[in-house]
Structure 1
């Protein structure tokens, strides 16, 4: 059965304080667990440009702070970045955050990560935008070593670890699941060679592949072709079990939907080998958002669970 992930609403600044309090975190956490969602998702934009925000971009709370708050008020739902821009931060700082969160949440962390696409944000953070793919590969290798819980050594771009330790390590071994985001062939190869999962997303209805700098996946046929490429690369590099696939959203951008449409599409994706999909829930107020999340649980998740 396809599992559903839900983006958290704490970036909805237009609603004022509706989503910006600990009370909101408690209410949202309770609602999404009652609804039966598998994982909650946070994005990563620590310092976006005003130009991007004014053109339709969005703010994002600190991903590890937000997931830690949700972890404190929930017991079951997985805590997932969707996505973390890995080259923005030293990989050992990221490893420390992941290990702490996974330890104190009793092994509920999944890390979706990608190379990002906002040149202005890269510039503000002092990271070379043109080197983002090289850094992504390097940081992912460093991250996996640092999450081992053992002493490690690694020499990277402008940093060195000679006999360092990050303890306690995460609960999940050898590390929490690491999903590589992006539609490009390079992202798929990265997922096969370095990741536990692949995290694609649909690019229709206003998602610009020029600004996001990724390949188009506009429909199920595009996704199927990408899955064929992924399996072929697994064979080429000798990977026996392909990465799991969790798509960013089951609904294409701007697409209207009904519960039955989602149920039908969930079955189609599951047959393709997709294990999870995001589902964005709307709501102008916290109460409306929580009601809509729970209604989705009743109308879709519960039906799939009893199918």
Structure 2
């Protein structure tokens, strides 16, 4: 099993007994390049950047990061741009893979995204992992002028355009939402045939779409007591859809994001009953990570709880995971026929 890190470019995370929250974090407490360099030195597999164009002051939309639907973001929220940060990190690291968690593709121009993320892959020497999703906030779609009800159709076309842009010598597309012909998109990404594209979702529809269009599935386990086998029915859905398509699921990856926090023995968080998922001592965190491996996941992207909101606390979590968790987690062999993330 590999361990990734959820970037703090949308703020430091905290949890109550039900939900995950992102705190309003000053930019000088984010420092994405510094965090990336430390994560690479500590053996993390990848760094995953969240994405939003804007955040409306209030929202009635159901936030899929929390099973309660409660929005994790504050009314006014500091957010750094994923692609820009990834470009900066790419030239200051050499091994760390760079992902999006997740790019809200449908309200952007897919050719522009194909260009931006090809650039990330080029600058990093082939380390891009593109997570895509339809998004959840209706108010944000309204702000950028794209109908929310079109998001699923647009996402499908965006994924198809990314792949054509990254593989075809002459790029053309004739869809419901995007139409163009005789376009060049060069250079191509370093990764061939194209960088991995993982689908962020937690519904049967999303699971079926993931195996149809992408190279992996990426659900979230960010709420306090998330069970690692929660989405086992979705894996079965993927298997059934793969059989219909004649596609071998052994070429498809299972990745997920989970909130986490390592503490000392005797810390109240390690003694909670029930204990929050992936929290407590290194041994307790590893128990939960092994359950994720048994549920089929070969990469768990950890969003660290840092109640102080301070960068120093995040750095301490990164160091402790690097020393106490990652070497042991690498010994876990994920269950199932899925392709393991390398």
TM-score range, shorter-chain basis?
Answer: 0.7 to 0.9
Residue 308 (structure 2) pairs with residue 301 (structure 1): no
Give the aligned partner of residue 246 of structure 1. Answer: 255
Look up the match of 1:220.
Answer: 228
* Residue in structure 1 matching 2:196, options 147, 166, 177: 177
CA-to-aligned-CA distance 1:68-124 (integer Å, 9 cap, x gap): 111122111001001001102111111001111101110000001110110000001
Q: What is residue 32 of structure 2 aligned with on the other side? A: 25
Is 1:236 aligned to residue 244 of structure 2?
yes
Name the CA shift for 1:17/1:202 in 2 (closer, same or farther; >3 Å). Answer: closer
Question: SS at the partner of 1:297?
Answer: helix
Secondary structure of 2:146's counterpart equals coil
Question: 1:78/1:203 Cα in 2 relative to 1: closer, same or farther (>3 Å)?
Answer: closer
Deviation per residue, 1:134-160 (Å, 9 max, x gap):
111121112211111521210234542
Match of residue 125, structure 1, among 127, 144, 155: 144
Q: Distance in 2 between matches of 1:247 and 1:159?
A: 30
TM-score, normalised with respect to structure 2:
0.79
1:150-197 deviations in whole A, cap 9, x for unaligned? 212102345422111110010001110000010111110111111000
Aligned length: 292
Contact 2:83–2:116, Cα closer than 8 Å, also in 1: yes
C-alpha contact (below 8 Å) 1:250/1:277 kept by paired residues: no
Instruction: Check 1:73–1:282 CA distance in 2 against 1; reply closer, same or farther (3 A cut).
Output: farther
Distance 1:282 1:204 in 2: 11
Task: Give 2:154's aligned residue.
Answer: 135
Match of 1:9 in 2: 8
The whole-number CA distance in structure 2 between the counterparts of 1:25 and 1:250 is 19
Contact 1:82–1:112 (CA under 8 A) maintained in structure 2 = yes
Secondary structure at 1:173 match in 2: coil
- Whether 1:258 aligns to 2:285 is no
Q: What is the rounded CA distance, in whole Å, between the counterparts of 1:306 and 1:184 in structure 2? A: 30
SS in 2 for 1:51: coil
Q: Name the counterpart of 1:48.
A: 55
CA shift, 1:251, in A, is 4.9
The 2-side partners of 1:205 and 1:15 are apart by 21
TM score, norm. by length of structure 1: 0.87
Cα distance in 2 for residues equivalent to 1:289 and 1:203: 17
- Say if 2:259 and 2:304, in contact at 8 Å, map to a contact too: no
Structure 1: gaps (5+ residues): 207-217
* Change beyond 3 A, Cα 1:16–1:174: same
Query: Aligned equivalents of 2:33 and 2:222: distance in 1?
Result: 33
- TM superposition shift of 1:265: 2.4
CA distance in 2, matches of 1:305, 1:238: 31
Shift of residue 306, structure 1, vs aligned partner: 6.1
- CA drift at 1:204: 4.1
1:277 aligns with 2:300: yes
- Alignment check: 8 A CA contact 2:239 2:249 kept: no
Distance in 1, Cα, partners of 2:215 & 2:124: 20
Unaligned residue ranges in structure 2 (runs of 5+): 12-22, 61-69, 262-274, 333-342
Q: CA deviation at 1:34?
A: 1.5
Is the contact made by 1:102 and 1:172 (CA closer than 8 Å) also made in structure 2?
yes
- Deviation (angstroms), 1:41: 0.9
Distance in 1 between the 2:43 and 2:222 partners? 27
- Measured in 1, the distance between the counterparts of 2:33 and 2:117 equals 22
Q: Residue 288 in 1 paired to residue 297 in 2?
A: no
SS of the residue 2:87 aligns to: helix
Alignment correspondent of 2:91: 72
The 1-side partners of 2:72 and 2:288 are apart by 28
| 1:188 matched residue in structure 2 | 207
